[in-house]
Amino acid sequence: MTASKTKALMQITDLEVSIGERKLISDLNLTIRGGESWALLGKNGAGKTTLLHTLARLRPWQGGGIELQGKPIDRLDRREVALSVGLLFQEGLSLVTNTVLESAMLGRYPHQHAWLWDDQADVEIAKAALAEFKLLDLAERRIDTLSGGELQRLALARLLAQSPALFLLDEPSNHLDIAHQLTGLLALRSRVTQDQATMMMATHDINLASRICDHVLLLKEDGAYEAGAAVQVLTENNLASAYDCEIRRIDSDAGVFFTPVISNPTSERMT
Amino acid sequence: MIAFRQILLIGALVLLTICAALFSLLSGSVEVTLADLFSLQSATQSELAQQIIFDIRLPRTAAAFVVGGLLSLAGVIMQVLLRNPLADPYILGVSGGAAVGALSAILLGASSFWLGQGAFLGALFSILLVFFIANGLGHWSVIRLLLTGVVVSAGWGAVINLLLTTSTENTVQSMLFWLMGDLSQSRVSPIHWALLLAGLSGGLYLSRTLNVLVQGDQQALALGVNVTALRLMLYFAASVLTASAVIIAGSVGFVGLVIPHMLRMLGARDHRLLIPSAMLLGGSFLIVADSLARTLIAPQQLPVGVVTALIGVPTFIVILRKSISREA
């Protein structure tokens, strides 16, 4: 594997994250390298969003450390963090009335220095990002006229325009139809990994995770976790203990699928 | 995206400001023609006109422009800071503090110099009071700032009423003029122009960051904005701009609330465009309002705040109805 030779993009050491009294993550040790794609799985309230926000330095953590490209992330300037780490929010875009292109241009904010004028290069990057998500035709439309799926693709395009080294995606498949989920996210993955960047996406969709990501971080009860190559982490046993529900693996000619077994009376149906 | 359309808007507003200034210089009880205005330097027969224009109307026009510009800039900043479209420059109590200072000076029979000093001290006290209460209780949040400001503002309102009810009839008259906003005694100094210019250039410098901040605090943080420091800066900037306007002309209402909204409706949502246009439209709006205030029922003069409110209230209702129907 070349992965072990690549320098660590993010090094997480003994990380502990709690909200109030509740410990969500404890003793998390993880090395994230360039070119990898991670799925972040776990049941509702397991701490997926909180972990992503912590890695983007949006909230403090309770112990351990996070190093970004060899430097402690809490010692970096916010702008330096934003140059390397980008976050797609679960809530999607705020509907402040910009045009689609203006909204995508906001992703260039950490790169821009001039007071007033937009560098043509930045505009081109934003347009290329829109084209990647098939939004270029809508560039001059106001964003409050977009559909939910178009808004989600715009949020992804803005993140692509930001061009960080680490893409943190919170439920990127929200509002996307089943075809866009797969094609959109596969396109994003290939764009991300071809530049030796990395993505980590939190999702409820185990099947989407297994088709898009090569690594999985599976959060379990009480701060425990499994992390590693997708094939090793995505086992019936691991998933059952994480989701508190029996989950069966189905091999088909279209790929591997996981489905909860609902005959178990204690199981909670995932939607 | 600064494009041709945007430059056109700025150009139109510059033209509007020039027209407003000419209108203001030419209107009044003594008739002065455009020809008089342009032959002023050479002609000796219009010495009276010269005096009226340079000594009376021009300083007042300048004051109107500066005050309108300061209030509109402060309004734009307040609306971003509080994430609230109904925020105006006075919402956090700066004008209330200034009014209590000024009214106390009037009550003590002080000269207009001390009236200005009283307003300055009152405003400064109020700015710091709101800051320390909002910040001292823990971390600095929008809702805490807004609540503190509104409560302090209400407190000043009570003190103002107390001062009004305990004053003699003569002083009440001048107090009311001050409270409604009045430019008849206003003169602007180079300091005021410098503050306006500082507000404009500071606003332009931060305009890109403001575009990010209106997307929400979390999104702004994720894009590399130091939100806490920025909010502090915006609070003090808006307060200082508001305080200067209030010290010059009292609490002129509606300019800071309505002008930013009008421009957003005209498509100036990008702060790189909104900030300079707000200054120009706010300035020219107040020039026109003040010209009307001194001519509508001449020889008696209305406080300019009455005129801005009379124009501002219907305009605001129209804007509000339009934005509601667009959301529905």
Q: Is the peptide bond before B299 cis (omega within 30 degrees of 0)?
A: yes
> What ipTM was assigned to the predicted interfaces of this complex?
0.89
* Sign, Cα dihedral of B103, B108, B114, B117: negative
Position B42 scores a pLDDT of 54
Chain segment A9-31, per-residue pLDDT in tens: 999 999 999 988 888 998 999 99
Instruction: Give the integer Cα–Cα distance in Å for A92 and A175.
Output: 10
Instruction: Classify residue A196: in a domain, yes or no.
Output: yes
Q: Are residues A34 and A140 in the same domain?
A: yes
The radius of gyration of chain B from alpha carbons, rounded to an integer in Å, stands at 20
- Min distance B226 CA to chain A CA atoms (Å): 7
Instruction: Classify residue A194: in a domain, yes or no.
Output: yes
Instruction: Give the integer Cα–Cα distance in Å for B255 and B197.
Output: 18
The radius of gyration of chain A from alpha carbons, rounded to an integer in Å, stands at 19
Pairs across A and B, CB distance < 8 A: 71
Does the pLDDT value for residue A68 go beyond 50?
yes
Task: Write the DSSP symbol of residue A181.
Answer: H
Ramachandran angles phi, psi of A168, nearest 5°: -100, 120
Does the pLDDT value for residue B48 go beyond 80?
no
Q: Are residues A79 and A194 in the same domain?
A: yes
Q: Residue A2's pLDDT band (boundaries 50, 70, 90)?
A: very low
Instruction: Classify residue A107: in a domain, yes or no.
Output: yes
Ramachandran angles phi, psi of B100, nearest 5°: -60, -40
Beta-carbon count within 10 A of B97 CB: 30
Task: Please answer whether residues A254 and A271 qualify as being in contact, where contact means their C-beta atoms are separated by less than 8 angstroms.
Answer: no
Instruction: Give the integer Cα–Cα distance in Å for B63 and B46.
Output: 24
Instruction: Classify residue A2: in a domain, yes or no.
Output: no
Task: Please answer whether residues A97 and B269 qualify as being in contact, where contact means their C-beta atoms are separated by less than 8 angstroms.
Answer: yes
The overall average pLDDT reported for chain B is: 86
Q: Are residues A15 and A66 in the same domain?
A: yes
Q: In sequence order, which residues have a C-beta less than 8 Å from that of residue A85 and are 6 or more positions away? A: A55, A56, A57, A68, A164, A165, A166, A168
The enclosing H or E element of B6 equals helix B4-26
Chain segment B191-231, per-residue pLDDT in tens: 999 999 999 999 999 999 999 999 989 999 999 999 988 98
Chain B residues whose C-beta is within 8 A of a chain A C-beta are: 1-2, 204-205, 207-209, 211-212, 214-216, 218-219, 221-226, 269-270, 272
Position A72 scores a pLDDT of 95
Chain segment B59-78, per-residue pLDDT in tens: 999 999 999 999 999 999 99
Name the residue among A89, A96, A116 with its Cβ closest to that of B272.
A116
Does the pLDDT value for residue A1 go beyond 70?
no
Does the pLDDT value for residue B35 go beyond 80?
no
The residue in chain B having the minimum alpha-carbon distance to the alpha carbon of residue A112 is: B208
CB contact under 8 A, A98 and B269: yes
| Structural domain span for residue A269 | 246-271
Instruction: Classify residue A241: in a domain, yes or no.
Output: no
Position A3 scores a pLDDT of 44
Q: Are residues A255 and A213 in the same domain?
A: no
> Which of A55, A112, A116, A143 is the best mutation test for B, with the most CBs of B within 10 A?
A116
Q: Say which CATH number the domain at A220 has.
A: 3.40.50.300
Q: In sequence order, which residues have a C-beta less than 8 Å from that of residue A73 and are 6 or more positions away? A: A55, A57, A66, A67, A81
For the entire predicted model, the pTM comes to 0.88
Instruction: Give the integer Cα–Cα distance in Å for A40 and B226.
Output: 28
Would you give the distance in Å from CA B53 to the centre of its chain? 24
Q: Are residues A176 and A49 in the same domain?
A: yes
Q: Are residues A91 and A212 in the same domain?
A: yes
Instruction: Give the integer Cα–Cα distance in Å for A261 and A263.
Output: 6
Position B137 scores a pLDDT of 53
Chain segment A128-168, per-residue pLDDT in tens: 999 999 999 999 998 989 999 999 999 999 999 999 999 99
Q: Are residues A19 and A52 in the same domain?
A: yes
Chain segment A91-125, per-residue pLDDT in tens: 888 877 789 999 999 999 999 987 777 889 999 99
Instruction: Classify residue A27: in a domain, yes or no.
Output: yes
Instruction: Give the integer Cα–Cα distance in Å for A50 and A253.
Output: 36
Q: Are residues A17 and A40 in the same domain?
A: yes
Instruction: Give the integer Cα–Cα distance in Å for A152 and B32.
Output: 61
Q: Are residues A219 and A256 in the same domain?
A: no
Q: Are residues A250 and A229 in the same domain?
A: no
Instruction: Give the integer Cα–Cα distance in Å for A22 and A169.
Output: 24
Q: In sequence order, which residues have a C-beta less than 8 Å from that of residue B158 and are 6 or more positions away? A: none
Does the pLDDT value for residue A221 go beyond 70?
yes
Q: Residue A63 pairs with which residues in a beta bridge?
A: A16
Q: How many domains does chain A have?
A: 2
Does the pLDDT value for residue B325 go beyond 80?
no
Does the pLDDT value for residue A266 go beyond 60?
no
CB contact under 8 A, B218 and A78: no
Does the pLDDT value for residue A5 go beyond 60?
no
**CATH code assigned to B4-327:** 1.10.3470.10
Q: What is the mean pLDDT of residues A23-46?
A: 92
Which residues of chain A make contact with B267, given a CB cutoff of 8 A? none
How much of chain A is helix, strand and coil, in % rounded to 5?
40, 30, 35
Task: Give the 3-state secondary structure of residue A41.
Answer: strand
Task: Please answer whether residues B249 and B63 qualify as being in contact, where contact means their C-beta atoms are separated by less than 8 angstroms.
Answer: yes
Q: Are residues A227 and A250 in the same domain?
A: no
**H helices, E strands: number in chain A:** 9, 12
